[in-house]
Structure 1
């Protein structure tokens, strides 16, 4: 199949509709970086398989952000050897992610899965039987038809040697074998997982069997003799008596599995009632001495009389305290009067002394004539006078009153103590009466008379003791019945464990056989997987041996390294996985390297990768497309290697439709000269992508004419 035309709309760098004439032996696409060269090549890939693997792009991610319709659309026109045209149309909506595909053939229009099936039949029939046919087609195209510049080194440094082996096996026709091998390996892994789970289940069953056998041994050791069956009459009578005593419960059959649990519950209830009855008896017995103590209580004292006497004494004490206050006031007044008289006498004596110092014939105050002798005598008498007698301030009466107050206070304190003592005694007596009365009411004794109470108390103690004794007897009988029931249940459990152990042993035997059968199937599957692996490896190795001379020829023409001039493929199987790597050799020094980047520069490694890609393209008998798409190889090669590549392309353009892009105008001119048609039957075109804008670049197409002078002589 040959590419003759492409139309892109809303696809990556081409927002508006743009058609490309690709009906030529050689197409040279030239444009600055970012002008849409790679988008053009990706459009061819996406139209064929609906994905761009290096971008992980499927569906809406390829729609241009500037697409007015919100859809990406690619129309690829192919032509077979008979000249029939096939048009593949693929579209995707950005909003819904809905993808559509249609194929127009000479026979009619196909769409959906039928279109993709027919397309696979046309370009790569091998992929039709695969689980992911479009992914297989994309792998083959990117390994042998479309050389992408940003994944070029994957031919030398893939993420995994096994991935490269898988891709090459798809390319050389062993893809379905490798795919079947992978499917069988996954199925075997799942099979092994289930088998391991069944082995785990078998171990769990064995553990359960061990527990059952241990339980059987325990029961046999605990009950070595045959159990005596429970007497149904005694069993029924015991439960009837329980109900008569107020213990509710439904009597199960003695041989029932829950009989042991039922009788244990009943015995616990009997135990609780017996303990309650014994406590009630103790409480009744404690009432006997309390009743005697209650009868021995002294009669109530006359607290009212004591309170009246206390009130009278308090009044008397108040009167005495008033008398004390009055006496204290009187004595204070007397002390004041004495102080005033004493002050007056002192003032007169001082005045007399002053008068004596200034005494003359006339009064020093009024200047009247005075009898000096009489006056001197009188003044001297005043200075020597002891003063007037003072009032009596004796405290004898006050002391007597204070003594009477203290006596009254002491008498009142003793009386209050007597009142509190009598109240405490009455309170304790009332508490005892209430406690005893409550206990009597609790035990159903309602009589008020002491003798009747004592008699009813004796009757209650006797009745309670009888009830407790009966409960104790029933408890002993129940324990004996419980032992017999447990023995019977143990014998039944022993029989059941024997049945269960036999069932588990049979189940273990069945599971062992099933596991053995699964292991045999797994081993058979492993042999099949190994056979498929060996077959795929043999096919790949054989085809690589056929491709190796072609690879060496291409590598020698490009001639990237002066020492490592030989290149080979190394195919091997390690741990069940096919691996493929590239080995470069220095034949002169007998040296080799399985990791070329260790001994080669980046440009030399890129030249080696291009050589491998071209060998795959030329080595495939029937490639999906009779085309060779090279996306800007100038960016990954230096000038010397590039010249070798151009010479190689010139020699092979008659075998493959060439489509080469470049950002360098000089390289484009070189390609135009080297790849120009040899005669008028051939065709070479140049597509120029200029000035990218939001709607896409401008596209200019021109045709390179053949050289009218096939041979020129150079001047000497």
Structure 2
């Protein structure tokens, strides 16, 4: 939650005692596990996560229709049509009329259960969910007007004979595949955080169930679980970073005891290295792996001999054989001088070139023989033969040189490791190995002798070296056995010390971050509660009316099992004892004051709030206060109130409140019907008729007032039509509001309602039915200049125009 991040982040940054590193850790923890994990490769513990995919944004939606059949008190399909737009709708009906069944059907579709089923201990509430008259195939279908999408359907069904828990819930968008569950709407967590439904049972239990339950309820809206999650993340982080130090301390003590019991120079060196508070991990690791120059001298000498190796027998024989073969090939190629032959070839080629340019002549060299064509041809043959011979000779010499070099490369000089002093038990074997190696290293200069030397001396040198190394093995193993058992532990400790040292600065920062969060926990929570408290107090001020109880504050206190909400109250100016001083009606009013800010938060995806029987225990004054609150909220939210008590509907009828009243009745066989009992547009029209028929009203006054009342009726009808249709198609509410506000003339608003176009030329449409033109004129020029025609006739014209606008007749 970004506002929580801003709140905590700003307080942390403002605290001069908190380091920058600790502040960064807190900010990362606010972002979540992944952000915290990205800091230095921290791997957080596995914990349960929300099942809603993070990529699914919660869908903003109004309610358009609820269809129910075979469920609770409803038999054949009953349909509740709603205006999917901000406004107040009261669904009235006596007890048993089926109105609460409609409310519970909606609750079931959105949550998969009902508060009554969850909270009632008796199983009868869960068993009596099928309708007795027509419950074979219960179905619930909720139509949403989803922003940027349009009509979206949430359906609930049960298999024939299925139990309550066998219900299946699905979401169907127009043109899209059916999705099981509600995850596609992104409401999995939102339905708990911004619960838009409040039943009578829940209304009565929120405050009486204990202060910890109220704390938990507020926690979801305030994001208090986010603060708790941040603390938990930081504690896990701090524990993770402190773990290396804990492990090191334990390991270090146990290793010191093991080293003290070992008689070895390396163990002594290790104990020395472990004494400082921050040991030299490089030296420890080198000692453990045997790479230090300060290790046991004898062990180093013996290991050096173990590293020695002679060429393998196959390579030696191959080199010897190759050398012999190249010597033979060179002998067969002859021993002619390559230089002399090259000079003769050059001389003959010069003579041939001269003959080619000068023709036949006396030999230019000796001046005796003839250099003619036949002699030139013989010379060419001779040159070709000599060039072939010399190429063969050169190839043989090159191969022999290569073989000779390869053979000599196999022979290494006597290693220093065979000349140093060794333990007495190895002296004889060392001498034999040294002598045989020296013999091997004595390379003859002649190629054939070298070939024979390789074959003759290699076996003895190989055997002597192998015997020496085999003799060294047991001696070195005996010496290393005890050390090797702790060397791995030394190396492990070196790694742990290094990890601990690297994590120390961040571990200190994490520890400081945890301390700061715990210190500021309640302050952060109560600061976050302030806007909710202010809104709840404002609502309570409207609801309390004549109550002597004043609620002046809410405070979150304690934690874990001692968490609670303290409600500061007073009675006639004297301090009270929280909710203990409240009557049942006042308790319900306070519950509403706490619930409504939660349900109407700007970040809630639910554009609707549904209340079921909220006024049952309220006196008349509080009902008037509730109507004031609901009317204010209905400016931005779709407020739906189910009530068997007619007092709220009566308050609407007698007040200047734009609200729709729907009446639910239940007939024989659980047949439930819904009818429109009060519509704001019809109320304005009704008032206009009453004004037109009022003989006590002066005629001139009547002619000035009736057009204004008719204009309100027509524009209210147009607004209802436009908002219902546009929001049902997915138009964002703010866009619909902007379009309506921009269309300031009555004709433009009719254009929006009927054609969805404020600039639509209405002339042809008005001419189709004469009452349309007359009715618009009454509500426009008549509004400014006064009515010229019969007032009752004017009301009839506008009534018919409103009927066309409501139906969207083009």
**TM-score under structure 1 length normalisation:** 0.46
Higher relative contact order (CA 8 A, sep 6+): 1
Structure number with larger C-alpha Rg = 1
